[in-house]
Structure 1
Amino acid sequence: MDVVDTWTGHHASALRQALRLTNEGFADRIGTVVRTVAKWNATPDMVLTIELQRALDTILTQAPTDVRSRFALLLRGDTSLPPVEMPAAPEIPADEHTSAALEWLDRTARWPAGASRARVAGRLEMVSRAGVERQRAVRTNLSREAVANSLAAYYRTSTPWVLHTARVDGVPVSTSVLTRPTWLDLRLPLGVGRDTMALSPLTYDPPGVDEYGALAAVDRLASGVATDLRIVNAPLYRLRRISVSPEGINGEVGIAAFLDYALTFDLLEGELSDALVNQRESTPGSLPLRDRYLPTIAAVTNVDDRLCAGGALSLFAVARPARRARNGRDYLILIQERSPQVLNAARRIAVIPKSFHGPLVDYSEDAQIYRTIEREMEEELFGRDDVDSVFTHHQRSADPMHPSRLSAPMRWLAEHPDPADWSMECTAVGFNLVSGNYEIANLIAIHNESWWEQYGGDIAANWESGSIRRYSTLDRDSILTLIHDPAWSNEGLFAALQGIRRLAEIGGNRVDLPSIEWEARD
């Protein structure tokens, strides 16, 4: 039975039993209160409200085959519930990455071996590439500001934490990045000993996921299979401690697996987006995943008590000589629209390069932020697939960033360390309330015009970008329009605002940029 014409208390109670949820778990799943679920049990003939009927329709439609079979048996009064044959799933890839994700879910949800594969296969019967892409498009059309405002209402900030907001030429702009005033405008040179991260010997043991979280992970995996989403269980750094000041950044990171993040904290964005799109409540108590994984500001900032993934994202600007078609010598700023194949900020506008902070070969040395930035420049801007963890999950080179292996544009930078030629600075640090990620914003500025003359034609975004855009720092109106584009990711705009503000300080007559002034948002 896949369709219920009219939901009664009896139907709802049968679905709860088929899902093997408690009254509390079922109430969380639907978005109602426990006493309502209890009332259904006590009053089987009552007809539910239209809103609740729609919610139960959705849950039943998305339920795996074994749940729907149990539901049908319960409605017929057959409580013996004979074993339900698990559906075959030939459409699920047999590659190591998909298998690793399914094994992760079996283990973390405490399901028997093979249960995740069966559930994902059942979910695949009800999803299509077109449907998943439509859902992603709807989520993308949700403005960054709507997400930021919703998170501002969900959390209550307190000193010293503030939400990163600004006035750009007098017009307010909000993000969902939680920071401190002392963590902004850092102007901190990277790679010269002032940014140090120690590697912790402690490994991360992910806690188990509850039934709701496990089913959300099933949905993520099924959607990924339907759209060829790339999820590689590469190691990434988990932030355990951080200290930030204009004098330096230091802290400690441990090692976690990408799946530990992708199937838990990274699900929070989709949950929030769907609630906003469908005009449902997005307050504490109404978002089950967020209520569990990231319920308070304390949970966000006490990073050693949870998995805090994140990384480095950089505004890239390069000096160009004057040309007849331009107004004069400027900097060229590069911006990307993220590909639909990426897990993070798909189809959103972002700075480039943008990356998760994780090791390549040397787990201790690679913990330094500048190492990730240099690697991502090679990967996302200069075409080095051999440093992309999606393609080189099993790295065999002893030193992928050895001078002899560098691309020509990167080799030039390595051979010209003078800050007058180019600079790499950390501009700000914060925590993104969307998924709790730590965000380290940076500015890469190439000041020597000869670099663009030699290597401008070598810049090409990799598969993570759907498209790339370029802006002149002398085109104030275009950059102002860019800043106010609603399609920005929150962390991308955070890095862009910080980078543009720093370029305005150091760019001289190459820049004519909007004014950016910070504001504290409680």
Structure 2
Amino acid sequence: MSIDWTGETASALQSAMRLTHEAFAERLGIGVRTVASWHQKPDTKPRGDMKGILDTALEQAPDDVKARFTKLISGGPLDLPAGAAEDAERRLTADPTIVAALNWLDAHTGWDPGTARREVAARLVALDIRDLHDRGVRRSSVNQRDTVRALADYYGTTTTGHGRYTAAFGPDTTASTTVLTHPDWLDLDCPLFPKHDKLKLAGVTPGDNITIDEAGADRAAQRLAEALALGNRMVNMPLFRLLDVDMQKHQLAGAVGVTDFVGYVVTMDLLEGELIDALTTDKPADASSLPMRNAYLPDLSAVLNVGNRLCAGGALALTAIARPADAFRGEPDYLLLIQERSGHVINAARRLAVIPKGFHQPLTDFRADTQVGATLRREIEEELFGRDDIDNTMSEQRHADPMHPSRLSEPMRWLLAEPGRLRMECTGFGLNLVSGNFEFASLIVIEDEEFWNRFGGEVQANWEASRLHQYSSRDAELLEELIHDVAWSNEGLFALLQGLRRLREIGGDRVDLPWIEWEIE
């Protein structure tokens, strides 16, 4: 095969081989900057000896690589299931979130406009959807405890009083997480109402201080190509970015700014996948195997310096619903809801988590929506009461006040009709070492058992959960088994433990919960 080698065709060979910039450079025995320059200048002509190196690489490549390369340089169709290829092509040109992400990449890498689109399109053609599903299976073999051990090795300890959240429960049993916290950030018992829920919106959000190098740009483009191939739902809505933290008993305080989701998804959101992939190949959790982490979140000082990095995150809550005595179930209790996350979500895919769980972000009133309680009320409506109209992945938001009383679901309207029916508290705060995200762990208690009689049959999860599980607050033995499950997301386990700890204090005769004591490691 005689090839007119240019930067574009050399990049196509790299995509066909499914290699990163570093791996392709190593395969050819050249510098990474040379590979990056081919992507930045697709019309450039490699020198004579470089053409020979590329000819040899192509000649020695397996047949499947040659076939993908031929597709790439001839503009062949995407190798995706029926319908998926058309959807990916459409989203690449018409999906406003993908277009915004491509523009963001061009701007932050210094690429010429349109370069990011070419990079993602080339990777799309080279992707094999079966490989992505196989990788998903490999990733599922890495459990919550594996990530704890890896990040404990990577970050070590700090002398600031912060440490990883660990809890002791049951007979000589402990559960550790990757949530970096502090004694002052735990057992907050903070009612999520304006008097106590006092995050403030900054007048000006500082720059994100992100400059993407060649390796980062390569992984970001690959991330977008994979999201298109897998049909992941993404919408470029504003996110709250944490700028300052001031948490204390009965009060949440600090400052947030506003950033775009697309900047998060091609930077900090890459850290979890990078870590999991390293663990599936038994690589050490260090700078050599985790270059993105080394660039964005290299040490505990960087983790804690939230004002000088992109720190997005969210709120999640253990939901406890009062139930009356039952002839079959027994005495009055609380129903505790746990979700298995869908494979299409951005965070904690295919992991156990409490419900609701969502990004902390505004709908229409940016200042009022800084309250953590505002996010949780929205997520209850969306994830448990079926409000598709406030799910920004399903439809555009055109209502002036999506949470206006006249638009609330019937269950939510009933809960808010009388004081005391709905209790919401923040039980703890931390920074997740997996992604750098902030996490507001909370507890939602529906105190009036009439709710379950009226609306229990209407409670159902949305697309973000593949399944719901229910537990009784009186079943201490089964709850201990649940805590010990290795399928948890780290933030989910953090919220579960803190929620159970608080529910044990306030639940009265409805609970028979294990004694939980936290520690800071």
Q: What TM-score comes out, normalization by structure 2 length?
A: 0.85
* Aligned twin of 1:298: 301
* Aligned twin of 2:271: 268
Any conservation in 1 of the 2:105–2:116 contact (CA below 8 Å)?
yes
* Aligned twin of 1:404: 406
SS of corresponding position for 1:256: strand
Q: Does 1:353 align with 2:356?
A: yes
- Looking at structure 1, the residues matched to 497 and 270 of structure 2 have their Cα atoms a distance apart, in angstroms, of 26
Q: Where do 1:143-182 residues align within 5 Å? A: 143-156=143-156, 157-169=158-170, 170-182=172-184
The Cα shift of 1:515 comes to 1.8
User: Structure 2 unaligned runs (5+)?
Assistant: 1-12, 56-71, 79-85
User: Structure 1 unaligned runs (5+)?
Assistant: 23-62
Q: Where do 1:319-338 residues align within 5 Å? A: 319-338=322-341
What letter matches 1:19 in structure 2?
Answer: V
The Cα shift of 1:307 comes to 0.9
What letter matches 2:162 in structure 1?
Answer: W
- Looking at structure 1, the residues matched to 399 and 479 of structure 2 have their Cα atoms a distance apart, in angstroms, of 41
Residue by residue over 1:80-99, the C-alpha shift from the partner in whole angstroms, topping out at 9 and shown as x without a partner, is xxxx9795887422322222
SS of corresponding position for 1:265: coil
* Aligned twin of 2:476: 476
What letter matches 1:217 in structure 2?
Answer: A
What letter matches 2:256 in structure 1?
Answer: V
Residue by residue over 1:67-92, the C-alpha shift from the partner in whole angstroms, topping out at 9 and shown as x without a partner, is 9996997151699xxxx979588742
SS of corresponding position for 1:471: strand
The Cα shift of 1:117 comes to 1.7
Any conservation in 1 of the 2:239–2:359 contact (CA below 8 Å)?
yes
Q: What TM-score comes out, normalization by structure 1 length?
A: 0.85
- Looking at structure 1, the residues matched to 46 and 225 of structure 2 have their Cα atoms a distance apart, in angstroms, of 21
SS of corresponding position for 1:454: helix
* Aligned twin of 2:52: 76
Any conservation in 2 of the 1:11–1:75 contact (CA below 8 Å)?
no
- Looking at structure 1, the residues matched to 215 and 25 of structure 2 have their Cα atoms a distance apart, in angstroms, of 21
What letter matches 1:499 in structure 2?
Answer: G
Any conservation in 2 of the 1:162–1:181 contact (CA below 8 Å)?
no
What letter matches 2:414 in structure 1?
Answer: W
Q: Where do 1:495-514 residues align within 5 Å? A: 495-514=495-514
Residue by residue over 1:461-519, the C-alpha shift from the partner in whole angstroms, topping out at 9 and shown as x without a partner, is 11111111111112222211111111100000000000011111111221111221112
Q: Does 1:140 align with 2:140?
A: yes
What letter matches 1:158 in structure 2?
Answer: T
Q: Which moved more, 1:451-460 or 1:505-514?
A: 505-514
Q: Which moved more, 1:227-236 or 1:70-79?
A: 70-79
Q: Which moved more, 1:154-163 or 1:176-185?
A: 154-163
- Looking at structure 2, the residues matched to 390 and 71 of structure 1 have their Cα atoms a distance apart, in angstroms, of 47
* Aligned twin of 1:245: 248
Alpha-carbon spacing, 1:381–1:70, altered in 2? closer, same or farther (3 Å): farther
Any conservation in 2 of the 1:65–1:119 contact (CA below 8 Å)?
no
Any conservation in 2 of the 1:64–1:123 contact (CA below 8 Å)?
no
- Looking at structure 1, the residues matched to 273 and 159 of structure 2 have their Cα atoms a distance apart, in angstroms, of 26
- Looking at structure 2, the residues matched to 10 and 251 of structure 1 have their Cα atoms a distance apart, in angstroms, of 46
What letter matches 2:423 in structure 1?
Answer: S
- Looking at structure 1, the residues matched to 45 and 73 of structure 2 have their Cα atoms a distance apart, in angstroms, of 10
Alpha-carbon spacing, 1:456–1:73, altered in 2? closer, same or farther (3 Å): farther
Any conservation in 1 of the 2:316–2:440 contact (CA below 8 Å)?
yes
- Looking at structure 2, the residues matched to 275 and 319 of structure 1 have their Cα atoms a distance apart, in angstroms, of 43
Q: Where do 1:402-441 residues align within 5 Å? A: 402-418=404-420, 421-441=421-441
Q: Which moved more, 1:426-435 or 1:193-202?
A: 193-202
* Aligned twin of 1:14: 30
Q: Which moved more, 1:479-488 or 1:280-289?
A: 280-289
What letter matches 1:14 in structure 2?
Answer: I
- Looking at structure 2, the residues matched to 86 and 256 of structure 1 have their Cα atoms a distance apart, in angstroms, of 39
Q: Where do 1:371-382 residues align within 5 Å? A: 371-382=374-385
Q: Tell me the matched-pair count.
A: 472
Any conservation in 2 of the 1:18–1:68 contact (CA below 8 Å)?
no
Any conservation in 2 of the 1:66–1:86 contact (CA below 8 Å)?
no
Any conservation in 2 of the 1:18–1:70 contact (CA below 8 Å)?
no
SS of corresponding position for 1:187: strand
SS of corresponding position for 1:332: strand
- Looking at structure 2, the residues matched to 71 and 490 of structure 1 have their Cα atoms a distance apart, in angstroms, of 50
- Looking at structure 2, the residues matched to 70 and 321 of structure 1 have their Cα atoms a distance apart, in angstroms, of 76
Q: Which moved more, 1:266-275 or 1:7-16?
A: 7-16
* Aligned twin of 1:202: 204
CA RMSD of aligned residues (A): 2.8
* Aligned twin of 1:34: none
- Looking at structure 1, the residues matched to 243 and 47 of structure 2 have their Cα atoms a distance apart, in angstroms, of 44
- Looking at structure 2, the residues matched to 14 and 283 of structure 1 have their Cα atoms a distance apart, in angstroms, of 24
The Cα shift of 1:136 comes to 2.2
The Cα shift of 1:247 comes to 3.2
Which of 248, 257, 262 in structure 1 is aligned with 2:260?
257
Alpha-carbon spacing, 1:210–1:449, altered in 2? closer, same or farther (3 Å): same
- Looking at structure 1, the residues matched to 26 and 286 of structure 2 have their Cα atoms a distance apart, in angstroms, of 29
* Aligned twin of 1:465: 465
